[in-house]
């Protein structure tokens, strides 16, 4: 069994080994986000479980501010995981497959951006949301693990594959990369 220290160092090594890939993806995605915001679009986020929590977390960073010591104007952002009345009504009546697609269909507009979080890259409701976005000319950015044969991959304008197969590590790296993307966007647009 690995010691706690070795588990921590394993994560640090993973980040160090993939630093160039992470930097490239952060820069590429931040350009897309900056363009969408500059052109009056909004950000939408969807995911399940821990990824749903990450969606709420990242949406809040854009709408509020990444660092309260560096206030800036808000950016239009919404997590599609938060409306419990809609989520429970829709899934009770129609099932879970199109729970996010329906929201993208009704509140999304051409020029917006949808962030799709799926550690497996194969969550049906996330893929359906991405399909709905593509139909409406909404850009799609995927956040997945380092798996092959992912349905979500073909639906994305840009894809970040966390360099891990372990769900907790995938999600931790999503959070790190998400913060850095938001920081880059703030620097480009406000500072």
pLDDT tens readout for residues 26-69 = 999 999 999 999 999 999 999 999 999 999 999 999 999 999 99
Global pTM value: 0.96
Residue 66 to residues 24, 57, 143, 191: CA-CA distances in angstroms?
A: 21, 10, 19, 13
123: left (phi over 0), alpha (psi -120 to 50) or beta: beta
Output the tens digit of pLDDT for each of the chain's 191 residues.
Answer: 679 999 999 999 999 999 999 999 999 999 999 999 999 999 999 999 999 999 999 999 999 999 999 999 999 999 999 999 999 999 999 999 999 999 999 999 999 999 999 999 999 999 999 999 999 999 999 999 999 889 999 999 999 999 999 999 999 999 999 999 999 999 999 99
Q: How many other CB atoms sit within 10 Å of the CB of residue 50?
A: 17
Bridging pattern class, strands 113-117 and 158-161: unpaired
Would you give the end-to-end CA distance of the chain in angstroms? Answer: 46
């Amino acid at each position: 069994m690995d010691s706690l220290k070795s588990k921590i160092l394993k994560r640090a090594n993973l980040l160090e080994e993939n630093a160039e890939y992470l930097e490239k993806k952060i820069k590429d995605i931040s350009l897309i986000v900056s363009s969408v915001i500059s052109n009056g679009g909004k950000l939408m986020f969807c995911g399940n479980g821990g990824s749903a929590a990450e969606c709420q977390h990242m949406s809040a960073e854009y709408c509020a501010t990444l660092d309260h010591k560096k206030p800036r104007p808000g950016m239009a952002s919404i997590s599609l995981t938060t409306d419990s009345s809609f989520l429970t009504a829709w899934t009770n009546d129609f099932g879970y497959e199109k729970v996010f697609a329906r929201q993208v269909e009704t509140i999304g507009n051409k020029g917006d951006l949808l962030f799709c979080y799926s550690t497996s890259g194969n969550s049906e409701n996330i893929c359906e949301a991405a399909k709905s976005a593509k139909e409406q000319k909404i850009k799609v950015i995927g956040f997945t693990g380092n798996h092959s044969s992912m349905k979500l991959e073909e639906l994305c304008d840009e894809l970040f594959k966390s360099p891990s197969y372990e769900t907790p590590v995938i999600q931790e790296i999503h959070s790190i990369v998400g913060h850095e993307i938001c920081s880059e966007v703030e620097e480009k647009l406000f500072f």
